[in-house]
Amino acid sequence: MHASAELAGPSRRTRPRDSAASWPLADRIGLGLCWAAGVTLTLLATAIVLYMGVKGISQLHLSYLFQHPTADVDQSKSGGFLDPIEGTLLLTAIGTAIAVPIGTGVALWLVEYGRPAPLARTVESAVEIIAGAPSIVIAVFGLVVFSQPAFAFLSFRATGADAAFGRSFVIAGAAMSLLALPLVVGAVREALLQVPNHLREASLALGKTVGATIRRVLLPAVRPGIATGTALGMGRIIGDTAIVILLLGNTLGTESADGGLPGFRLLRGTGSTLTSYIYGNSPAGEGGAPEKAYAAAFVLLALVIALNVLATRLARGNLSALTGGAAWTR
């Protein structure tokens, strides 16, 4: 049937659909407030991004990305922030390397086995507690534990003291992994719950064990979920400052510890990240170098935004990949 020529549609309307012009005053004020709030929020976000962008670009010299920082009061000689960038990358690598396998494993256990039930609930609660704990508290956890002399191999032992220094890349990285862990567990769990049951049943019906099913069927199916969780976790790690300040030793440059294997020396060493560098250069830290702080903040913000866009893309891809993939089997 074709549309009749006399169909006039909305143009005939003399009163548009529920226009606010007819509402009582109180309702119109309410609508106005809604608009004001929405517009304010958008302006706020735009202002933050624009301000950081403009300030950052005006202060950023490309050379900063490749120069080592020096502790010089004269800003033109204080170098760039290569070491903080190194620190950020290293911590993120350590944190995700620990969090992703463990998080995926825990999520798998929770969804595919989860027996006995009280144990599963307790594990879930523990992950919830970690998810809700502020990063400063996790940093304190790390400090309390790793200050014990038993853990001196992870940092170094201050001469004459009965405590380990308690701060190093590997310690900070381990603490960071706790930040990322709940995000990975959550994302992988979501992905697992979306895998249709008939895939599992088909594998089991062929005589495979649950373990093999996990390896061959489920892990490939939840790869997008693992990727989403990883991106989310990385975003959180990169943006965190409290753990860095408490657990990384706050040296401007990356400094390896003495003794031991070469690679391990770096892990046991101290350093800084973009976030602690920004904090240190602001009036709250030693102060004095807001220009460098803006430049570093620009790089940091760009990184975090890029990761978040990636995470959103992956999450959306998650959905279509799973439903699209399963559709042909119905």
Partner 1 sequence: MDPLMPPPIRRISLEQAPTVVPEPAASNGNGHAAAATRSAASAAAIERMRCDQVTIAYGQKVAVNRVELPIRQGEVLALIGPSGCGKTTLLRSLNRLTELTPSAARGGRISLDGEDVDTLEVTELRRRVSMVFQQPNPFPMTVFDNVAYALRDGASRRPRKPALAEPVEHALRRAGLWDEVKDNLDHPALRLSGGQQQRLCIARALAAQPEVLLMDEPCSALDPVSTTTIEQLILELREQIAVVIVTHNLQQAQRVADHVAFMYLGELVEYGPSEQIFHAPQAQRTRDYVHGAFG
Partner 2 sequence: MSGWRIPERAELGLGALAVALLALIVGMLAFVLVQAWPSFAHNGLAWFGSGGNANTQLNDIYQSPADPHHYQYHLRAWPLLYGTALSTGLAVLLGLPFALLCALFTVEFAPPGIARVMGPTVRLLAAVPSVIYGLIGILVLAPWINDHLVSAKFKLDVKPVVPIGGGGLLLASIVLAVMIVPIMIAIISDALRSIPRSWLEGSAALGVNRWRTMWRISVRAARPAIAAAVVFATARALGEAIMLAMVSGSFIFAPNPLDGLNFFLEPIQPLAATIVAGSEGFSAKPFAQTLYAFAAVLLVSSALLSLAAWAARQPMRRMGLR
Nearer to partner 1, 1 or 62 (CB): 1
Helices (H), the chain: 25-59, 82-108, 117-132, 135-146, 169-194, 197-205, 210-213, 219-221, 223-239, 242-247, 262-267, 274-281, 290-327
Q: Dihedral of the CA atoms 93, 97, 100, 105 (nearest 10)?
A: -170
Chosen residue from 242, 252, 295, 299 binding partner 2 by CB under 8 A: 242
| Contact between 6 and partner 1 per CB under 8 A | yes
Using DSSP's 3-state secondary structure scheme, residue 247 falls into helix
Q: Following DSSP, what letter does each residue of 266-290 receive, concatenated? A: HHTSB---HHHHHHHHSTTTT---H
Instruction: Please give the Cα distance from 182 to 202 (Å, whole number).
Output: 30
Nearer to partner 2, 90 or 232 (CB): 232
| Span between the terminal Cα atoms of the chain, in Å | 33
**Interface positions, 22-41, toward partner 1 (CB under 8 A):** 22, 24-25
- Residues in the chain, how many? 330
Give 329's DSSP letter: T
**Interface positions, 125-184, toward partner 2 (CB under 8 A):** 126-130, 132-137, 140-141, 143-145, 147, 158, 161, 166, 181
| Contact between 13 and partner 1 per CB under 8 A | yes
Chosen residue from 94, 98, 106, 195 binding partner 2 by CB under 8 A: 106
Q: Which tokens sit at 192?
A: 């697992």
Scanning 1-9, 158-166, 192-200, 274-282 for contacts with partner 1 by CB under 8 A, the matching segment is 1-9
Instruction: Please give the Cα distance from 222 to 255 (Å, whole number).
Output: 39
Chosen residue from 268, 275, 314, 322 binding partner 2 by CB under 8 A: 275
Give 110's DSSP letter: I
Strand stretches in 154-282, DSSP E: none
Q: Which tokens sit at 132?
A: 């809700």
Nearer to partner 2, 216 or 325 (CB): 216
| Contact between 99 and partner 2 per CB under 8 A | no
Scanning 66-74, 122-130, 221-229, 256-264 for contacts with partner 2 by CB under 8 A, the matching segment is 122-130
133 binds, among partner 2, partner 1, none (CB under 5 to 8 A by kind): partner 2
| Contact between 15 and partner 1 per CB under 8 A | yes
| Contact between 12 and partner 1 per CB under 8 A | yes
Report the interface residues with partner 1, using CB under 8 A. 1-4, 6-10, 12-15, 17-18, 22, 24-25
